[in-house]
Amino acid sequence: MKKHLTIALALLALCSGAFGQQITRVGVIDLQKVYMTYYKDSQAVRSLEEDKVKINEDIRRLSDEIKTLQQKRLEVLSAGDAQALKSFDDNLYRKAQYLSDFVKIKQADLDARAAALSKGDAFVQMLYRTVQSISEAEGYSLVISSRDASDVGSSVIWFSPMIDITDKVIQALLGS
């Protein structure tokens, strides 16, 4: 009898551990679609997104300039011109320092603007509360923003259309 009771308790302990784990549900939302649906209300958010794109283009341009200078520096190094090499090194250092400072300053500015938007913009607050409400009601543990599954810049490689809550968020916003 004790043996059966011990086995039953062991099985119960194993089963409770298996049932105690929660399956994570993930939701996907196309924020660009929401912003375009609420074009007027989302102007501040879209402006921030456009500025992010412009800043990333500037960073890419500055990085390309540095890469070009590094290639030219290699040519000067192989030519053995010490005076020109020092000039290239100084120029490279200044440009790299400028890029580093540029990234820090622009990122701090974007972070401050995003924080101000999340605290002060009525549309952003309403959107966040709506996403939170739908996510909690439908059991989503995570909601990921994705423009398009085929977008190279997207962090989402694939998702099932069943987990896309974009239209539900829009409907809920229309209802409120």
**Per-domain residue ranges for the chain?**
14-175
162: tokens are 């069943």
Spatial contact of 68 and 94, defined as CB atoms under 8 Å apart: no
Residues 6+ apart with CB under 8 A from 174: none
At residue 116, does pLDDT exceed 70? Answer: yes
Query: How far, in Å, CA of 164 to CA of 58, rounded?
Result: 33
39 Cβ neighbours under 8 A, 6+ residues apart: none
Q: d(Cα 68, Cα 75) in Å, to the nearest integer?
A: 11
pLDDT for residue 20 is more than 60: no
Half-sphere CA count of 74, side-chain side, radius 13 A:
5
Spatial distance between the Cα atoms of 67 and 70, rounded to a whole number of angstroms: 5
**Tens digits of per-residue pLDDT, 48-80?**
989 999 999 999 999 999 999 999 888 888 888
3-state class (DSSP) for residue 160 = coil
Provide Rg for the chain, Cα atoms.
26
> Which residue would you say has higher pLDDT here, 40 or 161?
40
Per DSSP, the residues of 86-106 read HHHHHHHHHHHHHHHHHHHHH
* pLDDT single digits (tens) 133-147: 888 888 888 888 876
- Cβ-Cβ contacts under 8 Å for 31 (sequence gap 6 or more): 145, 147
Q: Is the pLDDT confidence value at 97 over 90?
A: yes
